[in-house]
Structure 1
Amino acid sequence: MKENHIYKLRGIVQHYQWGGTDFLPRLLHETNEDNEPWAEYWMGVHPKGTAKVLTEKGTKDLSLLLQEHPEFLGEEVRKTFGELPFLFKVLDVKEMLSIQLHPTREVAVERFEKEEAAGIPLLAAHRNYKDKNHKPEVMVALTDFWLLHGFRHRDASEKSLHTLPGWDKLVPEVAAKGVPGLYEKVMAATEEEVFSLLEPLYHHLNEKQEELTPSHADYWAWQAFLQYSNEGHHDRGIFSIYWFNLVYLAEGEGIFQDAGIPHAYLRGVNVELMANSDNVLRGGLTPKHIDVPELLDNINFEAVVPQILLGEEDHQKGLGYPVPVPDFTLKQCRLAKGEIATGMENGPRILLVISGKASLNGQFFQQGEVAFIPAGVRLDCMNSEERDVHFFVAGVY
């Protein structure tokens, strides 16, 4: 490897149905004439989509490059993780995603082995644990972004039972068993019971839909009715829209999702950095399998005050988003014309240019292009253009 050499990557686009149609094609200088959903752009070595290294001879999987050059991970990452431990993404959320949470690493190890011993196929729809890893996530908004994050205080949940039509039937549950009992009641209810509880709310919101705004849970409950309801069925995740925190993030603001915290992305574009795992326990707003006992065993019922990450300035003209896990860190940076940022890190990094054009160790990278920087390689970033350059760096430091 040449000293200070970095590699140009091309990520993998995932065309999930909930995705938008414009942001990612525009970012990547691609066309989307068929108006296909472009939901996620993956940059990493995930088995469902590993990034490609662009070489003079063609392309090579980033996973293969790292197998050939394990030193690119750095000694500490090799010892601790044995592989690139994170997956870097851009998400364009047009329709709300499922409510979900992720297990701790200890639970993932134990229950992955349990499901393996039970002979449950890895790709079975009812399988919960696809690997032995946890899946903490940090995200930073690129546009106005809305999400659900953690339980609100008990008082807020109780208030919903007294103000929303038909929900007064649930008052005895919260009085006797608190929020855990209330949540278990609706998650374990039959389809008929869920429909009976939510049908009055459906008619109530239908009458006032023109007045609804995204800053209120009613708006997102109505969107969920439109997206998931059909004859005789309403999605039980609608209860959670009123019992979880509704969070708005402006561009540049972020949030961290730790193990056990229920959450759901509702709308907007973000960059997301997560541990390289597929372990997801769902809690509604989805047609997919919901394992209620497993969900209840892993969910954090404690009231959460969402901690908005504003970014902490560093000496390299960047904003860091600190997280309480060793798997990854995320930084964003903006450079005006003539500005330079330099740095050397012990771990590997992946850099994505959001806008503008920059020279990275003498190679030019423009909007939508991705760089892989091996461990121990000094990165010299310079902007010689009139327009500011804006980029994110994911890494293990």
Structure 2
Amino acid sequence: MLIPISNTPRDYSWGSTDLIARLQGREPTGSPEAEIWYGDHPGDPSDVVGAGGGTLDAALSAAGEPRLPFLLKLLAAGSSLSIQAHPTRAQAREGFAREEAAGIPRDAADRLYRDDNHKPEVIVALSDEFRALVGIRDLAATRRLIAALGDGPALTRLDALLAGDDPERAVRGALEWALTEATPADVDELTGDLARATDAEFAPEIEALRTAASDFPGDRGLFVALLMNLVVLHRGEALFAPAGVLHAYQSGLGVELMAASDNVLRGGLTPKHVDVPELLRVLDPTVGPAPLVAPRAVSSRAGETGAAAEFAPPVPDFALTRVELAGDPVAVQLRGAAIVLATAGEVSVEDGDERVALAPGDAVYVGGGVREVVLAGAGEAFVAQPGALVEA
């Protein structure tokens, strides 16, 4: 069963004004276009193209198909998203039950747990560069960056908090100070230090922090961003944000796949609600490099000239296969219902007697117990489906 789907770009303020339009080969609207959602998530289910229209969630319910465990997106960042972390499934269940019992409306601005699911996510770069802040940088490196910026009261205090023998305790202490005690004068101090800084070792990090300071003036999250790894992905590279890991995408176009959830704990660079105690409760304070994901080659049939590679983080909810097509068909084995999204060229998707042609930005749901989908054409597509892991 093939169901062509589409959706309207979401106009979040951080969205790019041209990246999605360029991928789809149309003129930009002039407004931010941040994300296109592909799936049955109740927050913005995809529209069914043809066959009576409606939304994908309604179509799947009518056909007796189960809900998707994932949500696929095109994401186009023109400026930084909020710094955020997501809970584990156990934390989400506890938090959701707590807020339900308290009677907090699910659409309330200060609601933290809108469902009882976790929200790990993977993103694969489509633009030549995709920039993100992900995870907590090695503390010795961060202290070198602080030394390069200056020795004013705020940075001296932050450096002292990071100097302890227990890195995870130091991270928690630094984050708590940054989000509860840092003053507007402290943020101004850091902003001024960034404007004057010329350190060669951390030039990309300083530039990213300058941009954040300009986009979010006076925001305490600037100190949080100072602690995080700057990652620059090139086209086809990916990173994974598991539960508890701080992250904030900065700029670029990517394909994002996540568990079907809307649970976000924010940590700055945002006008939205920041609950510091709850953020620190779900936080993974592990120090180290950003969690990148290397693809593994997916076996093809004899004679196929395309290439397929799967990004498979250690979660059961999803895996993402990138397929590069060079004219001959490529078969992708499926573990359950899937969504195929075209991102370049001309791609067709075949399921037995059904065939759907896709242009960049078009997608199709593949269901009905199908265990193999065949892609053909010349271009690029991504196949989102359940992961290979079985949840305990």
Question: What is the TM-score when the length of structure 1 is the normalising length?
Answer: 0.87
Pair 1:215–1:131, CA change in 2 (3 A): farther
> What does the per-residue CA deviation read over 1:103-157, in whole Å, with 9 as the maximum and x for residues that have no partner?
0110111111111111111111111111101000010001101111111122223
Q: Of the candidates 100, 107, 116, which is equivalent to residue 84 of structure 2?
A: 100
Q: For residue 126 of structure 1, give the secondary structure of its aligned residue in structure 2.
A: coil
Is the contact between residue 82 and residue 268 of structure 2 (CA under 8 Å) also seen in structure 1? yes
- Measure, in 2, the Cα distance between the counterparts of 1:161 and 1:225: 16
Q: Which residue in 2 is equivalent to 1:298? A: 282
353-362 vs 140-149, which moves further: 353-362
Is the contact between residue 86 and residue 118 of structure 2 (CA under 8 Å) also seen in structure 1? yes
Pair 1:245–1:109, CA change in 2 (3 A): same
- Measure, in 1, the Cα distance between the counterparts of 2:375 and 2:356: 9
> What does the per-residue CA deviation read over 1:234-270, in whole Å, with 9 as the maximum and x for residues that have no partner?
2111112221111110000001100000000011111
Pair 1:54–1:215, CA change in 2 (3 A): farther
> What does the per-residue CA deviation read over 1:14-52, in whole Å, with 9 as the maximum and x for residues that have no partner?
01111111121233344434x011110110111121111
Residue correspondence of structure 1 range 122-133 to structure 2 within 5 A: 122-133=106-117
Unaligned runs of at least 5 residues, structure 2: 301-306, 388-392
Q: Which residue in 2 is equivalent to 1:239? A: 223
CA displacement at 1:170 relative to structure 2: 3.2
Question: What is the TM-score when the length of structure 2 is the normalising length?
Answer: 0.88
1:256 maps onto 2:240 in alignment: yes
Pair 1:330–1:214, CA change in 2 (3 A): farther
Is the contact between residue 334 and residue 391 of structure 1 (CA under 8 Å) also seen in structure 2? yes
- Measure, in 1, the Cα distance between the counterparts of 2:148 and 2:333: 56
Letter of the aligned partner of 1:323 in structure 2? P
> What does the per-residue CA deviation read over 1:361-387, in whole Å, with 9 as the maximum and x for residues that have no partner?
23322222211110432322222xxxx
CA displacement at 1:198 relative to structure 2: 2.7
Q: Which residue in 1 is equivalent to 2:213? A: 225
- Measure, in 2, the Cα distance between the counterparts of 1:243 and 1:115: 30
Residue correspondence of structure 1 range 1-397 to structure 2 within 5 A: 5-33=1-29, 35-57=30-52, 59-70=53-64, 72-73=65-66, 83-143=67-127, 144-165=129-150, 166=152, 167-175=155-163, 178-189=170-181, 193-207=182-196, 216-229=204-217, 234-316=218-300, 317-337=307-327, 339-361=328-350, 362-377=355-370, 378-383=372-377, 388-396=378-386
Pair 1:214–1:303, CA change in 2 (3 A): closer
- Measure, in 2, the Cα distance between the counterparts of 1:158 and 1:86: 39
- Measure, in 2, the Cα distance between the counterparts of 1:324 and 1:311: 13
Pair 1:19–1:97, CA change in 2 (3 A): same
Is the contact between residue 10 and residue 369 of structure 1 (CA under 8 Å) also seen in structure 2? yes
Pair 1:215–1:140, CA change in 2 (3 A): farther
- Measure, in 2, the Cα distance between the counterparts of 1:212 and 1:265: 23
RMSD over aligned CA atoms reads: 2.1
CA displacement at 1:212 relative to structure 2: 9.2
Letter of the aligned partner of 2:130 in structure 1? F
Letter of the aligned partner of 2:235 in structure 1? E
Pair 1:226–1:375, CA change in 2 (3 A): same
Pair 1:252–1:343, CA change in 2 (3 A): closer
Is the contact between residue 244 and residue 283 of structure 2 (CA under 8 Å) also seen in structure 1? yes
Letter of the aligned partner of 2:133 in structure 1? L
Letter of the aligned partner of 2:157 in structure 1? K
Pair 1:365–1:179, CA change in 2 (3 A): closer
Identity %: 35
